[in-house]
Homo-oligomer: A and B are copies of this chain.
Amino acid sequence: MDNPLAMKLEQFTAFTADERQRLDELVSGRRHTYAARTDILVEGEKVNEIHIVLSGLAARYKILADGSRQIMAFLVPGDICDVEVFVLAEMDHSIAALAETECAVVPKRIVESLLTESSNLTRALWWSTMTDSAVLRERIIDHGRRDTRERLAHLLYEILLRYRIVGEAEDNSFRFPLTQEELADATGMTPVHFNRVLQELRSDGLVEFRAKTLRVLDPVRLKAVAQFNSNYLHLDRTEAGDGQVAERAGDLV
């Protein structure tokens, strides 16, 4: 099986055969499959393993007092659910599997020993954490200063790139198994209004979203509508020095 974590981290740096093997060991140990709409981690939980998404789709979320939910981030294959376990006492938010989701479950001491052995892997993990933060910041911009149409376009374009990186959207079409209500919870809209905005993007010929599959029909115009600038995803791999740009994300960056 391919290793989405390694595929993602290769956007940052090249690995030696040994490092690559370490990354493979990381995802080839214990695994757990979470059913659709079940929690992987809940707010307040003390965690002793890290969870790496291998397939499926998960989301960080919080439920407020009035029952409303905000999804703060999506976790696609290759994403790590809980790097914070190394230093934080307990989860400050929950993570749910939106569809059936398989995770590698790695005891934190395994990761710790791996980090002391390879500074390159340590740096790759830092890179992953820093880009996760950049994605959160971009979400704040989405909510604060982009109208709902731009906001949805921006989120979908980002998701497209992230799926491309792990090789799951070769033809700009990928399995995206969630409901409009869940996307509304991520974009800060009501389901009703979300539906109207989605219909706009559809009738403009930008995207198609049917049967749990998202197809981006016109990436160039979608990117323009979103005023998307991919710099915050840090896909340029400058260290490599070979001028190679975001291999798998391709011309969309």
Report which A residues bind B (CB closer than 8 A): 12, 43-44, 60, 62, 64-65, 68-70, 72-73, 83-84, 86-90, 92-93, 123, 126-127, 129-134, 136-137, 139-141, 143-146, 185, 187-188, 227, 231-232, 234, 236, 238-239
Contact = CB atoms under 8 A, between A and B. Distances in A.
A145 B227 contact: no
23 contacts: A43-B231, A44-B231, A64-B227, A70-B140, A70-B141, A72-B140, A83-B130, A87-B123, A87-B130, A88-B131, A88-B234, A89-B238, A89-B239, A92-B137, A92-B231, A93-B134, A93-B137, A129-B133, A132-B133, A140-B140, A143-B188, A144-B187, A144-B188
Nearest to A73: B137
A225 to B, nearest CB: 12
Nearest to A112: B119
Given A84-B130, A92-B234, 20 more contacts: A12-B87, A69-B145, A70-B144, A70-B145, A72-B137, A83-B130, A84-B134, A87-B126, A88-B234, A89-B234, A89-B238, A89-B239, A92-B134, A93-B134, A129-B129, A129-B133, A136-B136, A140-B143, A143-B143, A143-B144
Contacts of A232: 92-93
Contacts of A131: 88
Nearest to A231: B92
Contacts of A73: 137
Contacts of A60: 137
B130 A62 contact: no
Contact of A133 (B126, B133, B188): B133
A89 B123 CA distance: 12
